[in-house]
Amino acid sequence: MEQTPADFGTRPVPPILDRATHEQLLALRQSRRKSPGGRRDANVGRQYLLTGFLRCWRCGSRLGGITPGASTVRPHYRCPSRGAGGCSGVVVHASHAEQAAGDIVLTRICAPEFARSVDSRETALAQEERAMTSLVADALMGRRPGGGSAGLWTDAARIDAGAWEKLKETLEATARSGPTELASQTLLARQRRLCEVGQDLRPRWPGMDLEEQRAVIDSVVDHFVVQAAPRVRNRFTSQRLTPVWRS
């Protein structure tokens, strides 16, 4: 029996592909998306290692990673526009900056002065802890902070107001003098670990994932100041990145 177009319009047409196959092919097509120039765009989905770590030399704004639409333009970090709080004063190729930053951090970790810095700050933190422990112990044992004979407690139930104020002022001044004790201990523990494994990091670095690399950078560097580009175009040097160490 001959079928007419009307017959086809009333019957459900079975799908050529099942849903799972369709989604797989769609994902494959997206991964092979081509740029306007006709070549495959390798920058699709690119992640930026130094997001939050780069600052403009001129205005101090944080540089953001830019994935260009044109295949002829390389991924880069750029200072925000004036309307966004920046000055558009500096641009640096992402691959150049990321390679240089990794080398700067790995060199710092293996340098003797890094270990000495960790040792010095661990000693200072231990001294602060002992001083605070002594201060609280003096108060609990009935000795006035600062060495006087009168204690925090005038008897079993009453507090000496002057001693209490002295203790309170000392504790508040210590708390305001720097980062919290817990934060300092955490940072120093991470840096001590890097001192122990520093020589092994460089060969492992290319195979580490983005978050692992960022954790290492964050343990060593507060940020990098990106200097102005040299007069010679298309020439990058690591001197464009000035590290501000976490020490």
Is residue 134 over pLDDT 70? Answer: yes
Average pLDDT value for residue range 140-168: 56
Nearest of 105, 89, 107, 87 to residue 97 by alpha carbon: 105
pLDDT at 22: 63
Average pLDDT value for residue range 110-115: 94
For 190, phi then psi, to 5°, come to -65, -45
β-pair partners for 76:
66, 93
Average pLDDT value for residue range 146-165: 54
Which of residues 191 and 164 earns the better pLDDT score? 191
pLDDT at 244: 97
Nearest of 131, 155, 51 to residue 97 by alpha carbon: 51
pTM for the whole structure:
0.65
For the stretch 75-107, pLDDT in tens is 999 999 888 889 988 999 999 999 999 999 999
Is residue 114 over pLDDT 90? Answer: yes
